[in-house]
Amino acid sequence: MTLLLALDSACASCSAAVWQDGEVLAHKFEDMPRGQSENLMPFVAEVMKKSSIDFPDLDVLAVTVGPGAFTGIRICLSAARGLALATKKPLVGVTTMEALLVAQDLSNFQGALVAVVIETKRMDYYIQFFDHNGMSMGEPEALLASSIAKKFETLSQGKQIFLCGDGAERLKQEAIVADCEFEFGSENSQPDAGVFGQVAMDKYNAMGRAAFEIAPAPLYLRPPDATPPKPKFLFKAAGH
């Protein structure tokens, strides 16, 4: 029996869940564009209490690592890394792409090209491509609609394109591709600990505890906005 605690605040929601093997013992989810740093730990406390689990009873922890909102990623990842330090439990990182994909039922989309699309609140999109079995066809990337349209053409080869994630609707408007049929996933466009806990459970069972002793790193997909100022002559002695 494996007991797992999963948490997320990487996009525009906040959730926590306790899992026992393939079953959710307690679960809390709310759409939440802001305020996750206030609510995440009370959510965790609540699901732990509801499932009558104490922290020492847990076998493993799970958290989303991004891509998503920078601050949101740091909120859940710093909390999860803190929990891992306190409990000395392994911590499994799950990408938001994996988290959103597992919520989708792909059984009616044989042969489709699958794309998980996450809103960046800028021009571009966070996107990752998968085949109809959910096998990844590359790493998550930050891409503009024009590059995504090209990828659609080469990767889909006229097949159906299945889109999910909270960037899917905007992308459909912007990525103009001839002869492509778009299908949309179910409404679960936010990561949910009560759903993606399964991904972490599978990873943990497949790879074992030792694979998750080192805390996962954030996946931002974008360097910080900062440009160094140009140096100008001021004083001969300066800089020493």
Partner 1 sequence: MLVLGIETSCDETAAAVVSVKDDQSSGEILSNIVLSQLDDHRPYGGVVPEIAARSHLDHMDSIVERALNEANLELTDLDAIAATTGPGLIGGVMVGMMTAKALALAANKPFVSVNHLEGHALTARLSEDVAFPYLLLLVSGGHCQILCVRGVGDYELYGSTIDDAVGEAFDKTAKLLGLEYPGGPNVEKAAASGDPHRFKLPRPMVGRPDCDFSFSGLKTAVRQQIEKLSEDERDAQALADICAGFQLAVGDVFADRCRRAMERFRAECGDGHALVVGGGVAANKALRAVLTDAAAAQNMRFVAPPVKLCTDNGAMIAWAGLERLRRGLTSDLNVAAKPRWPLDSLKID
Give contact residues for partner 1 (rule: CB under 8 A): 35, 37-42, 44-45, 55, 70-71, 74-87, 215, 217-218, 220, 224-229, 232-239
Instruction: Give the nearer residue to partner 1 in terms of CB position, either 122 or 232.
Output: 232
In angstroms, give the least distance from the CB of 58 to partner 1: 9
Please provide the DSSP assignment of 42-100 as one string. HHHHHHHHHTT--GGG--EEEEE--SS-HHHHHHHHHHHHHHHHHHT--EEEE-HHHHH
**Considering the complex, what minimum distance in angstroms separates the CB of residue 129 from partner 1?**
27
Specify the residue, 178 or 234, whose C-beta has the smaller distance to partner 1. 234
- Nearest-angstrom CA–CA distance, 118 and 96: 8
Q: End-to-end alpha-carbon separation of the chain, Å?
A: 62
> How many CB atoms are located within 10 Å of the residue 212 CB?
21
Shorter beta-carbon distance to partner 1: residue 39 or 51: 39
* Cβ-based nearer residue to partner 1, 85 or 211: 85
Identify which of residues 123 and 231 has a Cβ nearer to partner 1 in the complex: 231
Least gap, CB of 125 to partner 1 (angstroms): 20
Main-chain phi, psi angles of 220, to 5 degrees: -90, -35
Indicate the residue type of 239: G
CA distances from 93 to 72, 82, 219 (A): 15, 14, 10
In whole angstroms, the minimum distance from the beta carbon of 95 to partner 1 comes to 17
Q: Could you tell me the smallest distance in angstroms from the CB atom of residue 233 to partner 1?
A: 7
Quote the CA–CA distance of 72 and 87 in Å, as a whole number: 23
CB of 184 to partner 1, least distance (A): 33
The smaller minimum CB distance to partner 1, of residues 56 and 186, is found at: 56
Query: Alpha carbon 138 to chain centroid distance?
Result: 15
Q: What amino acid occupies position 111?
A: G
Are 199 and 114 in contact by the 8 Å Cβ rule? The answer is no
